A and B are shown apart, each in its own frame.
Chain A
Amino acid sequence: DIQMTQSPSSLSASVGDRVTITCRASQDIRNDLGWFQQKPGKAPKRLIYGASSLQSGVPSRFSGSGSGTEFTLTISSLQAEDFATYYCLQFYSYPLTFGGGTKVDIK
C-alpha cells in the first residue's frame, strides 16, 4: 500500500499569510494526486486534481505542485474562509490513501 505522509498536521496562520502544506508518497505516484478542503460538518471539497490543476470555481490563491513523491498545496494569501482541514489523496493505485490531514486555524 502507498503511504501518504502529510505535514504539518496543524498550523496557525493569519489572514494574508502564505501557507504551504506537503504530502510525501511512499513510492512514485506520477501526478495522481488531489487536494481536498473540509470544513466542520461538511463534506470534503476538491481543490486540486492531477497534482496541479485547479478545480473549476476554486480561487486562484490555491495552487498545487509536485510529481513523483513530493507534492505541495500552497495558499498564496490566506483568507478567513480558508480556515479548514486539508487532505491529499493518491489515486495511483488501490487501496486509495489519504494523507492524515492538516488543520489550518487562526493565529
Chain B
Amino acid sequence: QVQLVESGGGVVQPGRSLRLSCVASGFTFSSYTMHWVRQAPGRGLEWVAVISYDGSSKSYADSVKGRFPISRDNSKNTLFLQMNNLRAEDTALYYCGRSNSWNYFDYWGQGTLVTVSS
C-alpha cells in the first residue's frame, strides 16, 4: 500500500534552518512528481514546492522561493525540503504528496509540524 511518511519537523528559532524528509513506499517513487504542501494552524492549505520525477525540474511558491530548496533521492525513495532562513509565518504542518499526469494528491502523509518561534 502507498505510504508517505514525513519527518524532521520541530521547534526552531527565526532565521535558522530545518530539513524535512518524506519517505515513500508502496509505489515506484522514481516515476512520480512530488510536492510539499503546508497548513498553518487554523488556516487553509498552501502549496509549497514541486520536483519532477527525476529531479530535473522544480517550482516554488513565491512565499518560499530562494529559501526552501526541494530535492529528492530516488535511490532512497525520499523527498526533502531544506528550510532556510525560517520565519514565524512558516509555522505550519508540512505534508508531502505525489502526482503524475492528471493524478494529483491521491495520497498524503500525516504531516510534520514546524514551529518557528524565539
Chain A interface (Cβ within 8 Å of chain B)? 32, 34, 36, 38, 43-46, 49-50, 55, 87, 89, 91, 94-101
Contact = CB atoms under 8 A, between A and B. Distances in A.
B45 A55 contact: no
Contacts, number: 53
Given A49-B103, A49-B104, A55-B106, A43 B111 contact: yes
B104 A89 contact: yes
Contacts of A34: 104-105
A50 B99 CA distance: 13
A78 to B, nearest CB: 21
A94 B45 CA distance: 15
Nearest to A85: B44
A46 B102 CA distance: 13
A87 B109 contact: no
B106 A50 contact: no
A87 B103 contact: no
Given A43-B111, A44-B108, A95 B61 contact: yes
Nearest to B107: A46
